[in-house]
Structure 1
Amino acid sequence: MPRKLPVAESPRGNRVERLGFRIDEETKDLIERAAHLSRRKVSDFCVTALADTARRMIADHETLVLSDRDRTAFFDALVNPPEPSERLIRALDEHKRRVAS
């Protein structure tokens, strides 16, 4: 289990966690240059870049993109749902038997 680093209070009252990692000198120089060009501290630059990338990654994994054909089929099924099959009816009956509401 990873060791939990001490937590400090920031001036705004938010909890501040610590995240540490090692990078090669070339990457460090690149990050420092980018931070300098954006007139920010390296730590602020890194936190913003990591958070933005994390948000994009999560959005990419939580967003479903449908083709026009798939979108039409999906909405058609919502508006005009098909009759349940025997297999679905049996599955629902089994679910009702096993799960108490």
Structure 2
Amino acid sequence: MSDKQNPSKTEDRRSKLERLEARLTREQKQLLQQAADLEGRTVTDFVVSHAQEAAVRTIEEHTIIKLSREDSIAFIDSLVNPPALQPDAPLARAISRYQESMGLG
């Protein structure tokens, strides 16, 4: 079937504009080939899909905050019962100026 008859192949080729190269040992290449064969995929497809999954996991691990049970309780407690803090002098002046400018003071 030609690309004209299968537009998804043409679209797929156009969407893949970047190239990634890697140098491997013979053993690494054989390992990747064996794993790709077991999944019925090309080595490229196998490597790209697994690298993408690993990248997503790594980003999630570095962006999602995980708290212990005690930390979670302390965090929720500070939201529900915030400490009564007095603003320092510069912040108090800024609050006062804001209230005056908004006609609140």
Q: Fold match, TM over 0.5?
A: yes
Tell me the equivalent position of 1:53.
54
Compute the RMSD of aligned alpha carbons.
2.9
Q: Could you tell me how far apart the structure 2 residues matched to 1:28 and 1:15 are?
A: 23
Q: Could you tell me how far apart the structure 1 residues matched to 2:60 and 2:68 are?
A: 18
TM-score relative to the length of structure 1? 0.71
Q: Pairwise mapping of residues 19-98 of structure 1 onto structure 2 (< 5 A)? A: 19-84=20-85
Q: Which aligned runs of 4 or more in structure 1 are off by greater than 4 angstroms?
A: none
Q: Could you tell me how far apart the structure 2 residues matched to 1:33 and 1:25 are?
A: 12
How far does residue 14 in structure 1 lie from its aligned partner after superposition? 2.1
Tell me the equivalent position of 2:11.
11
1:24-78 per-residue CA deviation (whole Å, 9 max, x = no partner) reads 1100000000000000011100100100111111111112111111100000111
- Report the count of equivalent residues: 86
Percent of matched pairs sharing the same residue: 37
TM-score relative to the length of structure 2? 0.68
- Larger helix fraction of residues: 2
